Amino acid sequence: MEAITQHREKNKVASEAAIQITDLKKSFGSNTVLNGITITLNKEENLVVLGKSGSGKSVLIKCLVSLIKPDEGTLTVLGEDISTLHTDGLNKLRKRVGFLFQSGALYDSMTVTENLLFPLRESKDIDQSEREHLVKEALENVGLSEVEHKMPSELSGGMRKRLGLARTLILKPEIMLYDEPTTGLDPITSKEISELMLTIQKNYKTSSIIITHDMACAAITANRMVILKEGKVEATGTYKELSSSSDEWVHSFFS
Amino acid sequence: MSNFLSTLFEYGKCVFGNQSSPSTKPPLIYQFLTGVADFAIFTGRYFMELIKPPYEFKELLKQSYRIGLQSLPLVGITGFIMGLVLTVQTRPTLAEFGAESWLPAMISVSIVREIGPVITALICAGKVGSSIGAELASMRVTEQIDAMEVSGANPFKYIIVTRVLATTLMLPILTVFNDIISMLGSLAGVNIHGDVSFSLFFAQAFAQLSFTDVFPSLIKTIFFGFSIGLIACYKGYNANKGTVGVGEAANSSVVLTSLMVFIIDMLAVQLTSLFIDT
């Protein structure tokens, strides 16, 4: 009876959370990157993950979309246990999760429009006029216009980030995973991208995990923050709580 | 021996038991066997994705244009020079025996049976193999393939199936083109020292050619094209991270596909001689 109650409690938590990561472990050879991470991302929440370079932040979000297979632990995304999903189920789930790569990962042999249409190529129920409308809407939502026929190499760094964002938004995801979204951008463009992330949270009602080293970006976007150290969660709290932490190591991120 | 087996067992556990890789480098025999197994899985997946809808016709046409049409000038120039040089080099030997009239027939048989398909395949191994290897490795390094995967699309079908199918279909066409241009080169070579008309040259050339010369060599080119596309895609798709990985993928694509062309050619000759009395 107790086991059933515990199972129901667990399911209840999973259904309320957008993402539930439990005791996640991942090693590469002898290098342990994640050593028992437990994190919950609540619905419509922006969770910023901080940590030193090489602390496994990117590995963490790549595990969430099954680009990297974890060694141990449970990953529940939108109520589905990733480890139990086969290819079709995983692809369906991936369409509900947007991923912004650090480099943008734009398809450089395609135009801007082709980049945006790529995620829709297997959606046979969307006709041509609707596709054109979705492209226009996605570009407008990230503040890009009149670039439809350009190649990614013709765009600036900030525009490439916006385009990467537009490409994920075209599928109207419920969860956004940002891998260092402001890296390599000037402070003004970084601020614009950070504010755009807030707008997306509001308009699309997304829950987001944001990996960043940019404290200005964290200050703008974070509802809650997690700091990783040696593969484990070292501290959790709001930006205000962590910035006034008495722990010298935690505080060093904010100074 | 027991140490060697226990090491293999340890690595096997890591692969099949979902455990972290051991810190030491695996033995060479293990790397070779896992490489072969990995390539076999890759090939199996290709055939599965090939028959499974939806089909990427637009991308297939695009790749066929890149691999086929854009290779025509290089294949044509090489074919012309090859035919001309072969004729000029062979002529003195035949002249010693007073058999110059056999020149068109001899050249046509050697070009159609062997030199045309192999040279075309080697040109494609260099041009197309390196291009596919480097392109896919760059896409892997810049996370473009990962981006396709996380968008819920099927990058294997879009990238691999279309390229392998395009090389398989284009190689026979390029070979036929190369054979024709080589014969024109040979005609030019014959006319350096003599005066042979276009119609006489080709009448003599085709008189000695039969179905058993043309058909096996065209079948052979289908396998050449398939191996070039598959190996180059495998190397590029599984490239290691970093720019070094891009260079290695391009390099190993060319080396392995060129080697594979000769291996397939050797097997094809053996098989042909079993069934057709040459």
Q: What is the Cα gyration radius of chain B?
A: 23
- A175 vs B: CB within 8 A: no
- B43 vs A: CB within 8 A: no
Instruction: Round to whole Å and give the CA distance between A188 and B163.
Output: 42
Element (H, E) at A60: helix A57-64
Q: Which residues of chain B have pLDDT under 50?
A: 16-18
Interchain CB distance below 8 Å, B150 and A122: no
B98 φ/ψ angles, rounded to the nearest 5 degrees = 65, 30
Interchain CB distance below 8 Å, B19 and A71: yes
How far, rounded to the nearest angstrom, does the alpha carbon of residue B139 sit from its chain's CA centroid? 22
Instruction: Round to whole Å and give the CA distance between A49 and A209.
Output: 7
**Spatial CB neighbours of B223, under 8 Å, sequence gap ≥ 6:** B264, B268
pTM value?
0.86
Element (H, E) at A149: none
What pLDDT was estimated at residue B5? 56
For residue B263, how many other CB atoms are within 10 A of its CB?
10
What pLDDT was estimated at residue A4? 47
How far, rounded to the nearest angstrom, does the alpha carbon of residue A123 sit from its chain's CA centroid? 23
What pLDDT was estimated at residue A13? 46
What pLDDT was estimated at residue B215? 92
Chain A residue numbers touching B23 (CB-CB < 8 A): 29-30
First to last CA, chain B: 49
A211 φ/ψ angles, rounded to the nearest 5 degrees = -90, 125
Query: Contact at 8 Å (CB) between A54 and A231?
Result: no
Pairing of strands A207-211, A46-51: parallel
Pairing of strands A207-211, A175-179: parallel
- B2 vs A: CB within 8 A: no
Query: Contact at 8 Å (CB) between B161 and B136?
Result: no
Interchain CB distance below 8 Å, A167 and B151: yes
Instruction: Round to whole Å and give the CA distance between A57 and A226.
Output: 10
What pLDDT was estimated at residue A53? 86
A23: closest CA of chain B, how far (Å): 16
Q: Which of B151, B156, B158, B246 has the highest number of chain A CBs within 10 A, making it the mutation to test binding with A?
A: B151
Element (H, E) at B64: helix B57-67
3-state class (DSSP) for residue A235: strand
The tens place of each residue's pLDDT in chain A, 255 residues long, gives 454 445 444 444 444 789 999 999 999 988 999 999 999 999 999 999 999 888 899 999 999 999 999 999 999 999 999 999 998 899 999 999 999 998 889 999 999 999 999 998 877 788 888 998 999 989 988 888 888 899 999 999 889 999 999 999 999 999 999 999 998 889 998 999 999 999 999 998 999 999 998 899 999 999 999 999 989 999 999 999 999 988 888 988 887
B140: closest CA of chain A, how far (Å): 10
